[in-house]
Structure 1
Amino acid sequence: MDLSSAIPTFVITLREGVEAALIVGIVLAYLNKANRRNLKGWVWAGVGVGLAASGMIGVLFGWIVEQAGTAGVSIEQFLEASFSVLAIACLSWMLIWMTRNARSLKQDVEGAIASTIKQDAQAGWGIFGLIFFAVVREGFETVLFIAGKFQQGVVPTLGALAGIGFATGIGALLFRYGVRLDIRKFFMIMGILLLMIVSGLVVTALGHFDAGMNALAQVDRKSASLCFYYERFAKPQDRDCVLGPMVWNFSKIMPAEQFPGSILSALLGYTDRLYLVQAIAYFVFLITVGGAYFQSLLGRSLFPLRRKPTNSSQ
Protein backbone atom coordinates (compact mmCIF):
# COMPACT_ATOMS: atom_id res chain seq x y z
CA MET A 1 0.00 0.00 0.00
CA ASP A 2 1.38 3.41 -1.03
CA LEU A 3 1.06 5.72 1.96
CA SER A 4 2.47 8.80 0.24
CA SER A 5 -0.99 10.24 -0.44
CA ALA A 6 -1.57 10.32 3.33
CA ILE A 7 1.30 12.77 3.91
CA PRO A 8 -0.39 15.99 2.68
CA THR A 9 -3.66 15.29 4.49
CA PHE A 10 -1.72 14.39 7.65
CA VAL A 11 0.29 17.64 7.53
CA ILE A 12 -2.77 19.80 6.90
CA THR A 13 -5.03 18.19 9.49
CA LEU A 14 -2.20 18.24 12.03
CA ARG A 15 -1.62 21.96 11.56
CA GLU A 16 -5.31 22.84 11.34
CA GLY A 17 -6.10 20.53 14.26
CA VAL A 18 -3.47 22.08 16.52
CA GLU A 19 -4.86 25.53 15.72
CA ALA A 20 -8.35 24.36 16.67
CA ALA A 21 -6.97 22.62 19.77
CA LEU A 22 -5.33 25.87 20.87
CA ILE A 23 -8.65 27.68 20.65
CA VAL A 24 -10.42 24.90 22.57
CA GLY A 25 -7.69 24.90 25.22
CA ILE A 26 -7.81 28.68 25.61
CA VAL A 27 -11.59 28.56 26.04
CA LEU A 28 -11.44 25.76 28.63
CA ALA A 29 -8.68 27.49 30.58
CA TYR A 30 -10.59 30.77 30.62
CA LEU A 31 -13.80 29.07 31.79
CA ASN A 32 -11.85 27.51 34.67
CA LYS A 33 -10.38 30.86 35.56
CA ALA A 34 -13.78 32.56 35.43
CA ASN A 35 -15.44 29.78 37.50
CA ARG A 36 -17.80 28.96 34.63
CA ARG A 37 -17.03 25.25 34.41
CA ASN A 38 -20.72 24.61 33.80
CA LEU A 39 -20.18 25.82 30.22
CA LYS A 40 -17.59 23.16 29.38
CA GLY A 41 -20.27 20.90 27.95
CA TRP A 42 -20.97 23.51 25.29
CA VAL A 43 -17.30 23.44 24.31
CA TRP A 44 -17.28 19.69 23.70
CA ALA A 45 -20.63 19.93 21.93
CA GLY A 46 -19.13 22.51 19.59
CA VAL A 47 -16.16 20.22 18.90
CA GLY A 48 -18.38 17.19 18.22
CA VAL A 49 -20.88 18.98 16.01
CA GLY A 50 -18.06 20.79 14.19
CA LEU A 51 -16.33 17.50 13.38
CA ALA A 52 -19.64 15.99 12.24
CA ALA A 53 -20.34 19.02 10.02
CA SER A 54 -16.85 18.76 8.51
CA GLY A 55 -17.51 15.10 7.75
CA MET A 56 -20.81 15.98 6.08
CA ILE A 57 -19.04 18.59 3.96
CA GLY A 58 -16.57 15.91 2.94
CA VAL A 59 -19.41 13.56 1.97
CA LEU A 60 -21.03 16.36 -0.05
CA PHE A 61 -17.80 17.10 -1.90
CA GLY A 62 -17.33 13.39 -2.56
CA TRP A 63 -20.83 13.23 -4.05
CA ILE A 64 -20.10 16.25 -6.26
CA VAL A 65 -16.89 14.58 -7.43
CA GLU A 66 -18.75 11.35 -8.21
CA GLN A 67 -21.43 13.18 -10.18
CA ALA A 68 -18.81 15.14 -12.11
CA GLY A 69 -17.19 11.86 -13.15
CA THR A 70 -20.39 10.82 -14.90
CA ALA A 71 -20.90 14.22 -16.56
CA GLY A 72 -17.87 14.05 -18.82
CA VAL A 73 -14.10 14.34 -18.71
CA SER A 74 -14.02 18.11 -19.24
CA ILE A 75 -16.54 18.80 -16.46
CA GLU A 76 -14.64 16.59 -14.06
CA GLN A 77 -11.29 18.20 -14.85
CA PHE A 78 -12.61 21.75 -14.57
CA LEU A 79 -14.25 20.87 -11.26
CA GLU A 80 -10.96 19.48 -9.99
CA ALA A 81 -9.22 22.68 -11.10
CA SER A 82 -11.87 24.82 -9.34
CA PHE A 83 -11.52 22.90 -6.07
CA SER A 84 -7.75 23.21 -6.33
CA VAL A 85 -7.88 26.99 -6.85
CA LEU A 86 -10.24 27.40 -3.88
CA ALA A 87 -7.96 25.24 -1.72
CA ILE A 88 -4.92 27.28 -2.78
CA ALA A 89 -6.67 30.55 -1.93
CA CYS A 90 -8.04 29.37 1.44
CA LEU A 91 -4.88 27.65 2.64
CA SER A 92 -2.63 30.53 1.52
CA TRP A 93 -4.81 33.08 3.29
CA MET A 94 -4.97 30.94 6.42
CA LEU A 95 -1.20 30.44 6.43
CA ILE A 96 -0.40 34.15 6.28
CA TRP A 97 -3.30 35.31 8.47
CA MET A 98 -2.52 32.84 11.25
CA THR A 99 1.15 33.78 11.24
CA ARG A 100 0.35 37.48 11.51
CA ASN A 101 -2.29 37.03 14.22
CA ALA A 102 -0.71 34.21 16.27
CA ARG A 103 0.62 36.63 18.88
CA SER A 104 -2.82 38.03 19.61
CA LEU A 105 -4.76 34.75 19.28
CA LYS A 106 -5.10 34.17 23.02
CA GLN A 107 -6.09 37.77 23.70
CA ASP A 108 -8.66 37.77 20.89
CA VAL A 109 -10.25 34.47 21.96
CA GLU A 110 -10.37 35.47 25.63
CA GLY A 111 -11.95 38.79 24.68
CA ALA A 112 -14.65 37.00 22.70
CA ILE A 113 -15.35 34.62 25.61
CA ALA A 114 -15.48 37.45 28.15
CA SER A 115 -18.16 39.26 26.18
CA THR A 116 -20.04 36.00 25.58
CA ILE A 117 -20.29 34.79 29.19
CA LYS A 118 -21.65 38.15 30.28
CA GLN A 119 -24.86 37.18 28.49
CA ASP A 120 -26.01 34.49 30.90
CA ALA A 121 -29.00 33.38 28.85
CA GLN A 122 -27.01 32.96 25.62
CA ALA A 123 -23.56 32.19 27.06
CA GLY A 124 -23.73 28.48 26.25
CA TRP A 125 -24.75 29.05 22.65
CA GLY A 126 -22.07 31.72 22.29
CA ILE A 127 -19.36 29.31 23.45
CA PHE A 128 -20.80 26.59 21.22
CA GLY A 129 -20.76 28.89 18.18
CA LEU A 130 -17.19 30.02 18.80
CA ILE A 131 -15.88 26.45 18.99
CA PHE A 132 -18.14 25.13 16.23
CA PHE A 133 -17.02 27.70 13.65
CA ALA A 134 -13.36 27.28 14.63
CA VAL A 135 -13.55 23.50 14.05
CA VAL A 136 -15.62 23.79 10.87
CA ARG A 137 -13.25 26.38 9.41
CA GLU A 138 -10.27 24.08 9.88
CA GLY A 139 -12.26 21.06 8.67
CA PHE A 140 -13.51 22.87 5.58
CA GLU A 141 -9.98 23.84 4.53
CA THR A 142 -8.85 20.23 4.90
CA VAL A 143 -11.82 18.82 2.97
CA LEU A 144 -11.33 21.44 0.25
CA PHE A 145 -7.69 20.39 -0.15
CA ILE A 146 -8.64 16.71 -0.42
CA ALA A 147 -11.27 17.59 -3.02
CA GLY A 148 -8.76 19.76 -4.89
CA LYS A 149 -6.27 16.90 -5.07
CA PHE A 150 -9.10 14.44 -5.74
CA GLN A 151 -7.45 12.17 -3.21
CA GLN A 152 -10.39 9.93 -2.57
CA GLY A 153 -9.98 6.61 -0.83
CA VAL A 154 -8.80 5.06 2.41
CA VAL A 155 -5.18 6.26 2.53
CA PRO A 156 -5.83 10.05 2.46
CA THR A 157 -8.60 9.54 5.00
CA LEU A 158 -6.19 7.65 7.28
CA GLY A 159 -3.74 10.52 6.96
CA ALA A 160 -6.45 13.01 7.96
CA LEU A 161 -7.51 10.90 10.95
CA ALA A 162 -3.90 10.50 12.05
CA GLY A 163 -3.42 14.26 11.84
CA ILE A 164 -6.50 14.86 13.98
CA GLY A 165 -5.28 12.28 16.50
CA PHE A 166 -1.82 13.86 16.79
CA ALA A 167 -3.35 17.34 17.06
CA THR A 168 -5.60 16.12 19.88
CA GLY A 169 -2.57 14.65 21.63
CA ILE A 170 -0.64 17.92 21.34
CA GLY A 171 -3.62 19.82 22.74
CA ALA A 172 -3.82 17.43 25.69
CA LEU A 173 -0.09 17.76 26.38
CA LEU A 174 -0.33 21.54 26.36
CA PHE A 175 -3.46 22.15 28.42
CA ARG A 176 -4.05 19.02 30.46
CA TYR A 177 -0.55 17.94 31.36
CA GLY A 178 1.17 21.33 31.19
CA VAL A 179 3.90 20.20 28.80
CA ARG A 180 5.80 23.18 27.38
CA LEU A 181 6.15 23.05 23.61
CA ASP A 182 7.54 25.67 21.27
CA ILE A 183 4.29 26.36 19.44
CA ARG A 184 5.82 29.17 17.40
CA LYS A 185 8.51 26.85 16.00
CA PHE A 186 5.89 24.14 15.40
CA PHE A 187 3.73 26.47 13.31
CA MET A 188 6.79 27.77 11.46
CA ILE A 189 7.87 24.26 10.43
CA MET A 190 4.33 23.18 9.57
CA GLY A 191 3.86 26.44 7.66
CA ILE A 192 6.88 25.73 5.47
CA LEU A 193 5.62 22.21 4.76
CA LEU A 194 2.16 23.56 3.99
CA LEU A 195 3.64 26.21 1.68
CA MET A 196 5.42 23.51 -0.33
CA ILE A 197 2.31 21.31 -0.47
CA VAL A 198 0.11 24.18 -1.66
CA SER A 199 2.75 25.14 -4.24
CA GLY A 200 2.46 21.62 -5.58
CA LEU A 201 -1.30 22.08 -5.72
CA VAL A 202 -0.71 24.96 -8.16
CA VAL A 203 0.93 22.47 -10.54
CA THR A 204 -1.95 20.04 -10.02
CA ALA A 205 -4.59 22.71 -10.67
CA LEU A 206 -2.96 23.71 -13.97
CA GLY A 207 -2.76 20.05 -14.96
CA HIS A 208 -6.51 19.63 -14.38
CA PHE A 209 -7.26 22.81 -16.31
CA ASP A 210 -5.08 21.64 -19.21
CA ALA A 211 -6.81 18.24 -19.29
CA GLY A 212 -10.22 19.95 -19.35
CA MET A 213 -9.20 22.24 -22.20
CA ASN A 214 -7.77 19.26 -24.08
CA ALA A 215 -11.05 17.39 -23.70
CA LEU A 216 -13.02 20.39 -24.98
CA ALA A 217 -10.64 20.82 -27.92
CA GLN A 218 -11.41 17.30 -29.10
CA VAL A 219 -15.16 17.91 -29.28
CA ASP A 220 -15.06 19.47 -32.75
CA ARG A 221 -12.73 21.31 -35.10
CA LYS A 222 -13.92 24.73 -33.93
CA SER A 223 -12.83 23.93 -30.40
CA ALA A 224 -9.40 22.70 -31.47
CA SER A 225 -8.00 26.25 -31.31
CA LEU A 226 -8.40 26.17 -27.51
CA CYS A 227 -5.15 24.21 -27.40
CA PHE A 228 -3.08 27.05 -28.86
CA TYR A 229 0.22 25.43 -27.93
CA TYR A 230 -0.52 22.59 -30.33
CA GLU A 231 -0.01 24.98 -33.23
CA ARG A 232 2.47 27.44 -31.67
CA PHE A 233 5.69 27.47 -29.70
CA ALA A 234 5.97 23.83 -28.61
CA LYS A 235 7.55 21.02 -30.57
CA PRO A 236 5.29 18.10 -31.57
CA GLN A 237 6.94 15.61 -29.23
CA ASP A 238 6.72 17.79 -26.12
CA ARG A 239 3.70 19.98 -26.76
CA ASP A 240 0.77 20.28 -24.43
CA CYS A 241 -2.63 21.94 -24.71
CA VAL A 242 -2.21 25.17 -22.74
CA LEU A 243 0.86 24.40 -20.61
CA GLY A 244 3.44 25.00 -23.31
CA PRO A 245 6.66 23.11 -24.00
CA MET A 246 7.85 20.38 -21.69
CA VAL A 247 10.54 21.29 -19.16
CA TRP A 248 11.38 17.71 -18.21
CA ASN A 249 10.15 14.17 -18.64
CA PHE A 250 11.29 11.90 -15.80
CA SER A 251 8.52 9.33 -16.26
CA LYS A 252 11.06 6.56 -16.93
CA ILE A 253 13.70 7.72 -14.44
CA MET A 254 11.51 8.65 -11.44
CA PRO A 255 7.76 8.07 -11.97
CA ALA A 256 5.50 10.18 -9.78
CA GLU A 257 3.49 7.08 -8.81
CA GLN A 258 6.49 5.18 -7.39
CA PHE A 259 8.90 5.82 -4.52
CA PRO A 260 10.67 8.25 -4.19
CA GLY A 261 8.67 10.20 -6.76
CA SER A 262 5.45 9.62 -4.84
CA ILE A 263 6.95 11.19 -1.69
CA LEU A 264 8.27 14.19 -3.63
CA SER A 265 4.90 14.53 -5.32
CA ALA A 266 3.07 14.54 -1.98
CA LEU A 267 5.39 17.05 -0.31
CA LEU A 268 6.71 19.23 -3.12
CA GLY A 269 4.22 18.81 -5.94
CA TYR A 270 6.73 16.88 -8.05
CA THR A 271 5.45 15.66 -11.40
CA ASP A 272 7.42 13.46 -13.77
CA ARG A 273 6.16 15.56 -16.70
CA LEU A 274 6.55 19.27 -16.02
CA TYR A 275 5.55 21.95 -18.51
CA LEU A 276 6.68 25.55 -18.84
CA VAL A 277 3.49 27.25 -17.58
CA GLN A 278 3.44 24.95 -14.53
CA ALA A 279 7.08 25.71 -13.72
CA ILE A 280 6.55 29.47 -14.00
CA ALA A 281 3.37 29.38 -11.89
CA TYR A 282 5.08 27.23 -9.25
CA PHE A 283 7.96 29.66 -8.75
CA VAL A 284 5.74 32.75 -8.95
CA PHE A 285 3.56 31.29 -6.19
CA LEU A 286 6.59 30.43 -4.05
CA ILE A 287 8.06 33.91 -4.47
CA THR A 288 4.83 35.83 -3.80
CA VAL A 289 3.00 33.77 -1.17
CA GLY A 290 6.23 32.39 0.28
CA GLY A 291 7.64 35.90 0.49
CA ALA A 292 4.49 37.14 2.25
CA TYR A 293 4.67 34.20 4.67
CA PHE A 294 8.29 34.77 5.66
CA GLN A 295 7.68 38.49 5.95
CA SER A 296 4.81 37.76 8.34
CA LEU A 297 7.10 35.50 10.38
CA LEU A 298 9.32 38.52 10.87
CA GLY A 299 6.34 40.70 11.74
CA ARG A 300 6.72 42.81 8.64
CA SER A 301 4.51 43.73 5.72
CA LEU A 302 5.37 42.45 2.26
CA PHE A 303 5.32 45.99 0.85
CA PRO A 304 6.02 48.33 3.77
CA LEU A 305 5.20 51.97 3.22
CA ARG A 306 8.23 54.15 3.68
CA ARG A 307 7.75 57.59 5.06
CA LYS A 308 9.86 60.38 3.77
CA PRO A 309 12.20 61.75 6.45
CA THR A 310 11.13 65.11 7.78
CA ASN A 311 13.52 67.96 8.30
CA SER A 312 13.37 68.77 12.00
CA SER A 313 15.08 72.10 11.47
CA GLN A 314 12.20 73.51 9.48
Structure 2
Amino acid sequence: MLASFLITFREGLEAFLIVGIILSYLGKLQATKYKKFIYLGVLIGVVISIIIAYIFQVVIYGMDNETYQHYLMIFILLFATLVLSYMVVWMANQSKQIKGEIEENIKKLVTAGNIAGMVFLAFLAVLREGFETVLFFSSLSFSESITLEDGLIGAFSGLVLSIVLVYFLMRGAKNIPIKSFFKYTGLLILIIAGGLFGSAVSMMQAADLLPTFIPVVYDISFILDDRGLFGTFLRALFGYNSSPTFMHLISWAVYMSTAILLWRKTYSYAK
Protein backbone atom coordinates (compact mmCIF):
# COMPACT_ATOMS: atom_id res chain seq x y z
CA MET A 1 0.00 0.00 0.00
CA LEU A 2 2.87 2.37 0.78
CA ALA A 3 4.38 1.84 -2.68
CA SER A 4 1.08 2.64 -4.42
CA PHE A 5 0.55 5.65 -2.12
CA LEU A 6 3.99 7.03 -2.91
CA ILE A 7 3.59 6.58 -6.65
CA THR A 8 0.18 8.28 -6.92
CA PHE A 9 1.27 10.99 -4.47
CA ARG A 10 4.33 11.77 -6.57
CA GLU A 11 2.57 11.45 -9.94
CA GLY A 12 -0.51 13.35 -8.77
CA LEU A 13 1.64 16.13 -7.35
CA GLU A 14 3.49 16.58 -10.64
CA ALA A 15 0.27 16.65 -12.69
CA PHE A 16 -1.67 18.94 -10.36
CA LEU A 17 1.29 21.28 -9.90
CA ILE A 18 1.34 21.85 -13.65
CA VAL A 19 -2.42 22.38 -13.72
CA GLY A 20 -2.17 24.69 -10.70
CA ILE A 21 0.54 26.76 -12.40
CA ILE A 22 -1.65 27.07 -15.50
CA LEU A 23 -4.73 28.16 -13.52
CA SER A 24 -2.71 30.59 -11.39
CA TYR A 25 -1.11 32.21 -14.42
CA LEU A 26 -4.47 32.55 -16.18
CA GLY A 27 -5.57 34.56 -13.15
CA LYS A 28 -2.53 36.83 -13.45
CA LEU A 29 -3.32 37.38 -17.12
CA GLN A 30 -6.94 38.17 -16.21
CA ALA A 31 -8.01 35.37 -18.52
CA THR A 32 -10.00 33.31 -16.04
CA LYS A 33 -12.66 32.67 -18.70
CA TYR A 34 -10.29 30.05 -20.10
CA LYS A 35 -10.11 28.05 -16.86
CA LYS A 36 -13.03 25.87 -17.87
CA PHE A 37 -11.03 24.62 -20.83
CA ILE A 38 -8.16 23.64 -18.52
CA TYR A 39 -10.61 21.64 -16.40
CA LEU A 40 -11.90 20.03 -19.59
CA GLY A 41 -8.37 18.96 -20.51
CA VAL A 42 -7.87 17.49 -17.02
CA LEU A 43 -11.16 15.56 -17.29
CA ILE A 44 -10.25 14.14 -20.70
CA GLY A 45 -6.82 13.17 -19.39
CA VAL A 46 -8.35 11.29 -16.45
CA VAL A 47 -10.85 9.48 -18.68
CA ILE A 48 -8.20 8.41 -21.19
CA SER A 49 -5.94 7.23 -18.33
CA ILE A 50 -8.78 5.02 -17.04
CA ILE A 51 -9.32 3.62 -20.55
CA ILE A 52 -5.59 2.84 -20.83
CA ALA A 53 -5.73 1.04 -17.47
CA TYR A 54 -8.66 -1.06 -18.69
CA ILE A 55 -6.89 -1.90 -21.97
CA PHE A 56 -3.81 -2.96 -20.01
CA GLN A 57 -5.87 -5.41 -18.00
CA VAL A 58 -7.74 -6.78 -21.03
CA VAL A 59 -4.61 -7.22 -23.16
CA ILE A 60 -2.42 -8.74 -20.45
CA TYR A 61 -4.86 -10.96 -18.60
CA GLY A 62 -6.88 -11.80 -21.71
CA MET A 63 -3.96 -13.64 -23.30
CA ASP A 64 -4.49 -17.37 -23.73
CA ASN A 65 -0.81 -18.05 -24.27
CA GLU A 66 0.85 -18.01 -20.83
CA THR A 67 4.32 -17.77 -22.36
CA TYR A 68 3.50 -14.55 -24.21
CA GLN A 69 1.80 -13.19 -21.10
CA HIS A 70 4.94 -13.95 -19.09
CA TYR A 71 7.15 -12.18 -21.65
CA LEU A 72 4.85 -9.16 -21.72
CA MET A 73 4.97 -8.91 -17.94
CA ILE A 74 8.78 -8.98 -18.06
CA PHE A 75 8.78 -6.21 -20.66
CA ILE A 76 6.42 -4.04 -18.59
CA LEU A 77 8.51 -4.52 -15.43
CA LEU A 78 11.70 -3.52 -17.28
CA PHE A 79 9.98 -0.61 -19.03
CA ALA A 80 8.52 0.63 -15.73
CA THR A 81 11.97 0.46 -14.13
CA LEU A 82 13.39 2.56 -16.98
CA VAL A 83 10.57 5.13 -16.87
CA LEU A 84 10.70 5.44 -13.07
CA SER A 85 14.44 6.01 -13.17
CA TYR A 86 14.21 8.54 -15.99
CA MET A 87 11.34 10.37 -14.27
CA VAL A 88 13.44 11.06 -11.17
CA VAL A 89 16.37 12.41 -13.18
CA TRP A 90 14.12 14.46 -15.50
CA MET A 91 12.26 16.10 -12.60
CA ALA A 92 15.52 17.08 -10.92
CA ASN A 93 16.83 18.70 -14.11
CA GLN A 94 13.58 20.41 -15.15
CA SER A 95 12.15 21.58 -11.82
CA LYS A 96 13.79 25.02 -11.99
CA GLN A 97 12.61 25.94 -15.48
CA ILE A 98 9.31 24.09 -15.85
CA LYS A 99 7.23 26.93 -14.33
CA GLY A 100 8.65 29.52 -16.75
CA GLU A 101 8.11 27.26 -19.76
CA ILE A 102 4.48 26.56 -18.82
CA GLU A 103 3.73 30.25 -18.26
CA GLU A 104 5.31 31.17 -21.60
CA ASN A 105 3.20 28.55 -23.40
CA ILE A 106 0.02 29.75 -21.69
CA LYS A 107 0.77 33.37 -22.57
CA LYS A 108 1.13 32.45 -26.25
CA LEU A 109 -2.08 30.39 -26.20
CA VAL A 110 -4.09 33.18 -24.52
CA THR A 111 -2.72 35.79 -26.93
CA ALA A 112 -3.70 33.63 -29.90
CA GLY A 113 -7.02 32.59 -28.33
CA ASN A 114 -6.01 28.96 -28.91
CA ILE A 115 -8.60 27.08 -26.85
CA ALA A 116 -7.68 23.67 -28.28
CA GLY A 117 -4.07 24.27 -27.28
CA MET A 118 -5.08 25.03 -23.68
CA VAL A 119 -7.18 21.88 -23.48
CA PHE A 120 -4.32 19.84 -24.92
CA LEU A 121 -1.74 21.31 -22.52
CA ALA A 122 -3.78 20.29 -19.46
CA PHE A 123 -4.72 16.96 -21.07
CA LEU A 124 -1.08 16.10 -21.77
CA ALA A 125 0.02 16.92 -18.21
CA VAL A 126 -2.59 14.58 -16.73
CA LEU A 127 -2.27 11.84 -19.37
CA ARG A 128 1.52 11.58 -18.98
CA GLU A 129 1.28 11.06 -15.23
CA GLY A 130 -1.80 8.86 -15.63
CA PHE A 131 -0.02 6.56 -18.08
CA GLU A 132 3.00 6.30 -15.79
CA THR A 133 0.73 5.45 -12.86
CA VAL A 134 -1.02 2.69 -14.84
CA LEU A 135 2.36 1.32 -15.86
CA PHE A 136 3.67 1.31 -12.30
CA PHE A 137 0.56 -0.31 -10.84
CA SER A 138 0.69 -3.08 -13.44
CA SER A 139 4.35 -3.63 -12.56
CA LEU A 140 3.64 -3.75 -8.82
CA SER A 141 0.86 -6.30 -9.34
CA PHE A 142 3.15 -8.47 -11.50
CA SER A 143 5.82 -8.43 -8.81
CA GLU A 144 3.18 -9.56 -6.27
CA SER A 145 3.94 -6.50 -4.17
CA ILE A 146 0.37 -5.35 -3.57
CA THR A 147 -3.18 -6.66 -3.54
CA LEU A 148 -5.84 -4.83 -5.52
CA GLU A 149 -7.57 -3.56 -2.36
CA ASP A 150 -4.36 -2.27 -0.74
CA GLY A 151 -3.25 -0.75 -4.04
CA LEU A 152 -6.51 1.17 -4.49
CA ILE A 153 -6.50 2.43 -0.88
CA GLY A 154 -2.91 3.62 -1.19
CA ALA A 155 -3.53 5.15 -4.62
CA PHE A 156 -6.62 7.06 -3.52
CA SER A 157 -4.89 8.34 -0.37
CA GLY A 158 -1.88 9.52 -2.36
CA LEU A 159 -4.06 11.24 -4.93
CA VAL A 160 -6.12 13.10 -2.33
CA LEU A 161 -3.03 14.22 -0.42
CA SER A 162 -1.37 15.47 -3.63
CA ILE A 163 -4.44 17.60 -4.42
CA VAL A 164 -4.45 19.05 -0.87
CA LEU A 165 -0.73 19.85 -1.04
CA VAL A 166 -1.03 21.55 -4.43
CA TYR A 167 -3.99 23.58 -3.13
CA PHE A 168 -1.90 24.96 -0.25
CA LEU A 169 1.04 25.59 -2.56
CA MET A 170 -1.15 27.59 -4.91
CA ARG A 171 -2.58 29.50 -1.94
CA GLY A 172 0.91 30.75 -1.15
CA ALA A 173 2.14 28.26 1.44
CA LYS A 174 5.82 29.00 0.82
CA ASN A 175 7.03 27.02 3.83
CA ILE A 176 6.32 23.65 2.19
CA PRO A 177 9.75 22.16 1.26
CA ILE A 178 8.71 21.07 -2.22
CA LYS A 179 12.28 20.70 -3.55
CA SER A 180 13.28 18.43 -0.68
CA PHE A 181 10.07 16.48 -1.19
CA PHE A 182 10.92 15.73 -4.82
CA LYS A 183 14.51 14.91 -3.91
CA TYR A 184 13.78 12.30 -1.26
CA THR A 185 10.63 10.84 -2.77
CA GLY A 186 12.77 10.48 -5.90
CA LEU A 187 15.14 8.29 -3.90
CA LEU A 188 12.25 6.17 -2.65
CA ILE A 189 10.92 5.85 -6.21
CA LEU A 190 14.34 4.53 -7.28
CA ILE A 191 14.22 1.96 -4.48
CA ILE A 192 10.79 0.84 -5.68
CA ALA A 193 12.17 0.63 -9.22
CA GLY A 194 14.99 -1.56 -7.90
CA GLY A 195 12.39 -3.97 -6.52
CA LEU A 196 10.58 -4.06 -9.86
CA PHE A 197 13.87 -4.73 -11.64
CA GLY A 198 14.61 -7.59 -9.25
CA SER A 199 11.17 -9.06 -9.98
CA ALA A 200 11.86 -8.82 -13.72
CA VAL A 201 15.16 -10.69 -13.25
CA SER A 202 13.38 -13.43 -11.29
CA MET A 203 10.75 -13.77 -14.02
CA MET A 204 13.45 -13.95 -16.70
CA GLN A 205 15.16 -16.70 -14.75
CA ALA A 206 11.86 -18.58 -14.49
CA ALA A 207 11.53 -18.31 -18.28
CA ASP A 208 15.16 -19.49 -18.77
CA LEU A 209 16.09 -16.15 -20.31
CA LEU A 210 18.77 -15.60 -17.67
CA PRO A 211 21.02 -18.11 -15.92
CA THR A 212 20.64 -18.76 -12.21
CA PHE A 213 24.26 -19.67 -11.38
CA ILE A 214 23.68 -20.04 -7.63
CA PRO A 215 20.02 -20.86 -6.76
CA VAL A 216 20.23 -19.47 -3.21
CA VAL A 217 23.07 -17.18 -2.12
CA TYR A 218 21.78 -17.06 1.45
CA ASP A 219 18.54 -17.81 3.24
CA ILE A 220 17.50 -15.61 6.17
CA SER A 221 13.79 -16.45 5.99
CA PHE A 222 14.03 -17.86 9.53
CA ILE A 223 14.89 -14.30 10.65
CA LEU A 224 12.72 -12.26 8.29
CA ASP A 225 10.67 -14.15 5.73
CA ASP A 226 9.76 -12.08 2.65
CA ARG A 227 6.30 -13.70 2.75
CA GLY A 228 5.67 -12.65 6.35
CA LEU A 229 3.87 -9.50 7.44
CA PHE A 230 6.88 -7.18 7.72
CA GLY A 231 8.80 -9.03 5.01
CA THR A 232 5.98 -8.43 2.55
CA PHE A 233 6.11 -4.72 3.35
CA LEU A 234 9.88 -4.66 2.73
CA ARG A 235 9.46 -6.63 -0.49
CA ALA A 236 6.87 -4.15 -1.76
CA LEU A 237 8.94 -1.08 -0.93
CA PHE A 238 12.57 -2.21 -1.22
CA GLY A 239 12.41 -5.38 -3.31
CA TYR A 240 13.56 -7.39 -0.27
CA ASN A 241 14.21 -11.09 -0.88
CA SER A 242 15.07 -13.40 2.01
CA SER A 243 16.60 -16.08 -0.27
CA PRO A 244 17.77 -14.46 -3.54
CA THR A 245 19.53 -16.18 -6.41
CA PHE A 246 23.00 -14.95 -7.33
CA MET A 247 21.76 -13.22 -10.52
CA HIS A 248 18.87 -11.56 -8.68
CA LEU A 249 21.14 -10.24 -5.93
CA ILE A 250 23.86 -8.97 -8.29
CA SER A 251 21.37 -7.36 -10.71
CA TRP A 252 19.56 -5.57 -7.89
CA ALA A 253 22.83 -4.39 -6.33
CA VAL A 254 24.17 -3.06 -9.65
CA TYR A 255 20.93 -1.20 -10.39
CA MET A 256 20.69 0.34 -6.92
CA SER A 257 24.31 1.45 -6.79
CA THR A 258 24.05 3.00 -10.27
CA ALA A 259 20.67 4.64 -9.57
CA ILE A 260 21.76 6.16 -6.25
CA LEU A 261 24.99 7.45 -7.80
CA LEU A 262 23.01 9.16 -10.60
CA TRP A 263 20.50 10.51 -8.05
CA ARG A 264 23.27 12.10 -5.98
CA LYS A 265 25.01 13.61 -9.02
CA THR A 266 21.77 14.89 -10.55
CA TYR A 267 20.63 16.69 -7.42
CA SER A 268 24.09 18.09 -6.74
CA TYR A 269 24.05 19.65 -10.25
CA ALA A 270 20.45 20.83 -9.82
CA LYS A 271 21.24 22.98 -6.76
TM-score normalised according to structure 1 size: 0.80
Task: Give the superposition deviation at 1:106.
Answer: 0.7
1:77, 1:211 within 8 Å by CA — same for their partners in 2? no
1:69-148 paired onto structure 2 within 5 Å: 70-72=64-66, 74-120=67-113, 122=114, 124-148=115-139
1:1-314 paired onto structure 2 within 5 Å: 6-68=1-63, 70-72=64-66, 74-120=67-113, 122=114, 124-149=115-140, 150=142, 151=146, 153-176=148-171, 178=173, 180-213=175-208, 242-245=211-214, 246-299=216-269
Q: What is the one-letter code of the residue matched to 2:91?
A: M
Point out the structure with max Rg over C-alpha.
1
Deviation digits for residues 125-159 of structure 1 (CA, Å, limit 9, x no counterpart): 21111111111111111111111232562221221
- Greater relative contact order (CA < 8 Å, ≥ 6 in sequence): 2
Whole-Å separation in 2 of the counterparts to 1:57 and 1:93: 21
| Backbone CA RMSD of aligned residues | 1.7
Partner of 2:244: helix, strand, or coil? strand
State which drifts further: 252-261 or 265-274.
Answer: 252-261
Unaligned runs of 5+ in 2: none
Over the matched positions of the two proteins, sequence identity in percent amounts to 29
Partner of 2:218: helix, strand, or coil? strand
Task: Give the superposition deviation at 1:247.
Answer: 1.6
Whole-Å separation in 1 of the counterparts to 2:43 and 2:153: 19
Q: What is the one-letter code of the residue matched to 1:116?
A: L
Task: Give the superposition deviation at 1:249.
Answer: 2.2
Whole-Å separation in 2 of the counterparts to 1:65 and 1:273: 29
Q: What is the one-letter code of the residue matched to 1:133?
A: L
Whole-Å separation in 1 of the counterparts to 2:233 and 2:3: 10
Task: Give the superposition deviation at 1:35.
Answer: 0.6
Unaligned runs of 5+ in 1: 1-5, 214-225, 227-240, 301-314
Task: Give the superposition deviation at 1:255.
Answer: 2.3
Whole-Å separation in 1 of the counterparts to 2:27 and 2:93: 28
Task: Give the superposition deviation at 1:242.
Answer: 2.0
Whole-Å separation in 1 of the counterparts to 2:182 and 2:173: 19
1:82, 1:148 within 8 Å by CA — same for their partners in 2? no
Q: What is the one-letter code of the residue matched to 2:212?
A: L
1:146, 1:152 within 8 Å by CA — same for their partners in 2? no
State which drifts further: 79-88 or 275-284.
Answer: 275-284
Q: What is the one-letter code of the residue matched to 2:65?
A: A
Whole-Å separation in 1 of the counterparts to 2:201 and 2:253: 13
Whole-Å separation in 1 of the counterparts to 2:72 and 2:242: 23
Whole-Å separation in 1 of the counterparts to 2:161 and 2:150: 16
How many residue pairs were aligned? 265
Whole-Å separation in 1 of the counterparts to 2:218 and 2:234: 15
